Amino acid sequence: MDLIKLRYFYTTAKFENVSLAAKELSISQPALSKAITNLESELEMDLFFRSGKRISLNENGKFLFKRAERIFSEVRHLERGLEERRGEGSGNLSIVTTLPYTFTNIIDQFFNEYPNVKYQQVPLSKENLQQFTENGKFDVCITTEEIHNPNVEWVPLFEEEIFLTVPKSYKETKTGTINLLDFNHLRFIGLTKQYSFRQFTDQYCKSIGYTPIYQVEVEEATTILQLVKNGRGAAFTPETAVNLYDSKLKHLKIENKKFTRTIGLLKHRYLYPTKISEAFVEHCHHYFQEYNKDK
């Protein structure tokens, strides 16, 4: 089996349609069908279920497709490595994360050293995480959830505290700390329930017997502190975001019990790391080391 035949199979499997795959590959449909048939003969096994124009992978095909994804991911990484050697200090960097404040600050500083790199932030969805762990589709994942997968390495970077953020006009700001159980009247602003940070804070509140009342639920984290600043309610805020709108807000230490989470990154164990991705990982370590010093 050669890479051309494997590419034909892989593309056909992705589209589950020979006509669309042929168009993507810029070959004729009969030529692609013949190539797939020849591959199945060579392997002495069928790879697809066929029903008219539609095809789908059988168990043999699923086995081959999963491994083909790894092979072509490795080819992409090799191409990127060669491209990187041609243009020092340039290239692409894709980062899977849902930490907007942390991502913004880290990238902003990394720009100073690598102004010619093209950056892409990728949302931390189940599908993107699977693409990262299984195929190394993206360079680095920054997350607060430790992932157990033999393909990736979890590297803890920073344990951050979660604060309750209120407008400075609130009477609760006088002491600098708060017992949540004493303030059932608070109205909260937060992310909707499908976000991991909301699930994390809800779980903490449940563990201490507190039920926050959400008056506003949003899809964009950067909206939350703006609304709190305007006096619309209170919010749970990670430590790495407490410097925003500082003159208008007060971040209160929660007394009930320890309320922290760990920020870490995931690196792929088996795929070629580019110089840019290695430099970014080193930058993340340095960023949080300096952050700890400044606390």
- Proportion of the chain in helix, strand, coil states, percent, rounded to 5: 45, 25, 25
Q: Can you give the pLDDT of all 295 residues of the chain as single tens digits?
A: 788 889 899 899 988 888 888 888 889 989 998 999 999 999 999 999 987 767 899 999 999 998 888 888 778 777 766 766 655 555 788 899 878 778 888 998 998 888 888 888 888 888 888 888 887 888 899 999 888 888 899 999 999 999 999 988 887 667 789 999 998 889 999 999 988 899 999 999 999 999 999 999 999 888 998 899 998 999 999 998 887 667 788 999 999 999 999 999 998 887 778 888 889 999 999 999 988 877 6
Q: Do the domains 74-157+262-294 and 3-69 match in fold?
A: no
**3-state class (DSSP) for residue 41:** helix
CATH number of 3-69: 1.10.10.10
Distance CA 230, CA 251 (A): 15
Domain-by-domain residue ranges, the chain? 3-69, 74-157+262-294, 159-261
| Helix runs in 208-274, H state only | 221-229
β-sheet bridge partners, residue 249: 167
Record the tokens describing residue 8, joined without a space.
């034909």
CA 160 to chain centre: 18
- Would you tell me the crossing angle of helices 3-15 and 29-43 to the nearest 10 degrees? 110
Record the tokens describing residue 278, joined without a space.
């290695």
Query: 40, 32, 34: which is closest to 64 by C-alpha?
Result: 40
Report the residue count for the chain.
Answer: 295
What letter does residue 75 receive in the DSSP assignment? H
Amino acid at 189: I
pLDDT at 113: 86
Q: Let me know: does 227 contact 234? Beta carbons within 8 Å.
A: no
pLDDT at 118: 86
Q: Which fold has domain 74-157+262-294?
A: D-Maltodextrin-Binding Protein; domain 2 (3.40.190)
Measured in degrees and rounded to the nearest 5, phi and psi for residue 234 equal -110, 165
Record the tokens describing residue 250, joined without a space.
């007060």
For tokens 């971040």, the residue is 251
Query: 174, 165, 94, 163: which is closest to 135 by C-alpha?
Result: 94
How wide is the angle at C-alpha 103 spanned by C-alphas 100 and 109, nearest 5°? 140
Q: Let me know: does 87 contact 257? Beta carbons within 8 Å.
A: no
Q: Which one of 1.10.3720.10, 3.20.20.60, 3.40.640.10, 3.40.190.290 gives the CATH number of domain 159-261?
A: 3.40.190.290
β-strands 152-167, 249-254 pairing: antiparallel
Distance CA 40, CA 44 (A): 6
Record the tokens describing residue 295, joined without a space.
């606390």
| Helix runs in 163-274, H state only | 196-207, 221-229
pLDDT at 244: 60
